[in-house]
Amino acid sequence: RQPDVVQKMNWFHRQVRPAKRLYSDAVTELRILEALSNHPLRTRHHKEASFFIVPIAIGSNLVQNHPGSLHKPFQKLLSSPLFLKTGGNRHVLLSLTENSLGQALEKFGVTENIYNQLENVTVANSIDVYRINDMLKSGTMDSQVQQGVKPMTNFGFSIGLMSNPGVPYQPASWKKFQDSTNYLYFEIDDADGTVATATTASMNCNDTNTKLLDDADVEKNTTTTTATTATTTNPIDIQRASLITIFEQHRSHDVIRLGFQSLNDKQMLMESRFCLVVRGKTTPYSKTLIRAIKTGCLPVIVSDLLPEVAPMFKSTLNMNDFSIFIDEKDFLNMTESSIHGLKFIAEDKLRWKINALRFAQRVVLYDHPESLFVPAFLREAGLAMRQKSAP
């Protein structure tokens, strides 16, 4: 059943599949705006408010694909007494679908004149566009890895890639970790352009050719093999297609579940101890992370720049607390030993990370039964606003 918001906005005629990224981001924007609107911290008296959330759903307008549809809402915002009084310095705009200036929003009526008037608005993005822009200018990030972007406004913050995970919530716990029957989950998405071998593509829950190893099997199979076909240290080479080749060549799929297409095998994800989160093809971030968090699966992150360019509520969470990071170069050169090394992490460290993951679930999941999403969001917004008055 599709979300209720789809019915409200009459999107059925567009036949937008929930798996589509734009659709997923658009729905997430609306759900976040709903969470902010319904939270007890909200006040309906502007004199009591520290700042104002702009109730414009950018993603829903993009999905409906009505040219110029954003022009009127933004004009109304810019002409409102509160905006004129504050100059936008106390306004927060949520934009998960668009991270920068560009033709996409211009088509929908966000003209250059509107952009200029929005310069003091604080924008909540899925990535830290401001940091990425600085890194590109300073040469600390390769433009081949991340294309240049111009931030929508002068100030903003990252809440991480929050798209609808498409999986049910499962509390992180030591019991869940121990009871999980699968060692490591690795997601293959149609969008990756991956062409898996017949053996890999045929894997499913009932596959007798794919063995889900218990602890004894993992111990027995902890051999170190160097991935000779992927010795380059260029981050662009860390792609799912090349990883599948490595796993196939070195028989690592004996301990790793492969072959998922568009999350059809959600149960395997739910029953995994660790989830491999590999950097995207051309970006340092991946939406696999939010799925791992929601299902209580310990993220194993192979992306050196992820905490810097797409942090999740960085004033509240430290991604190292609830994740295991593997250096990209080490992973390329020692894929199997990196994976098998997870087996030897001390129990007390694992328990600590699982507790941190359980807290992270409360922070990043706006629909968590004990969610801290809104307070964390407002905290980031407040800190971003303070930058405006910083010398």
Residue stretches of the chain with pLDDT short of 70: 1-20, 99-104, 139-150, 188-265, 281-282, 388-391
For residue 36, the model assigns a pLDDT of 94
For residue 33, the model assigns a pLDDT of 93
Residue 235 lies in a domain: no
Q: Tell me which residue has tokens 């992927």.
A: 230
Q: What is the DSSP letter of 170?
A: -
E strands in the chain:
52-53, 91-94, 122-125, 155-158, 182-186, 256-257, 272-278, 298-302, 324-325
- Please check whether residues 43 and 135 belong to one and the same domain: yes
- Please check whether residues 13 and 72 belong to one and the same domain: yes
Residue 303 lies in a domain: yes
Residue 207 lies in a domain: no
For residue 285, the model assigns a pLDDT of 73
- Please check whether residues 190 and 86 belong to one and the same domain: no
- Please check whether residues 132 and 280 belong to one and the same domain: no
Residue 234 lies in a domain: no
Residue 227 lies in a domain: no
- Please check whether residues 82 and 192 belong to one and the same domain: no
Got the DSSP string for 22-42? HHHHHHHHHHHHHHHHHSTT-
CB 68 within 8 A of CB 33: no
- Please check whether residues 88 and 186 belong to one and the same domain: no
For residue 152, the model assigns a pLDDT of 75
For residue 332, the model assigns a pLDDT of 76
State the first-to-last Cα distance of the chain, in angstroms, to the nearest integer: 51
- Please check whether residues 78 and 53 belong to one and the same domain: yes
- Please check whether residues 9 and 150 belong to one and the same domain: yes
Compute the distance between CA of residue 142 and CA of residue 140 in angstroms, rounded to an integer: 7
- Can you say whether the dihedral through the CA atoms of 357, 146, 158, 95 is positive or negative? negative
CB 226 within 8 A of CB 334: yes
- Please check whether residues 158 and 178 belong to one and the same domain: no
135-171: string of b/e by CB count within 10 Å (b at 16+)? bbeeeebeeebbeebebbbebbbbbbbbbbbebeeee
Q: Which domain holds residue 28?
A: 5-162+380-389
CB 27 within 8 A of CB 17: no
Q: Please name the amino acid found at residue 31.
A: R
CB 150 within 8 A of CB 380: no
Residue 304 lies in a domain: yes
CB 213 within 8 A of CB 254: yes
Compute the distance between CA of residue 340 and CA of residue 224 in angstroms, rounded to an integer: 8
Tens of pLDDT, residue by residue over 246-275, are 555 544 444 444 434 345 567 888 888 999
- Please check whether residues 110 and 134 belong to one and the same domain: yes
Domains in the chain: how many in total?
A: 2
The reply to whether the predicted model has a pTM over 0.75 is: yes
Residue 149 lies in a domain: yes
- Please check whether residues 131 and 194 belong to one and the same domain: no
Domain containing residue 291: CATH number? 3.40.50
Kind plus residue range of the DSSP H or E element containing 371: none
For residue 257, the model assigns a pLDDT of 46
Cross-strand pairs, 125 = 158
Tens of pLDDT, residue by residue over 132-187, are 777 777 766 665 444 546 677 788 899 998 877 778 899 999 999 999 988 888 77
- Please check whether residues 70 and 182 belong to one and the same domain: no
For residue 297, the model assigns a pLDDT of 95
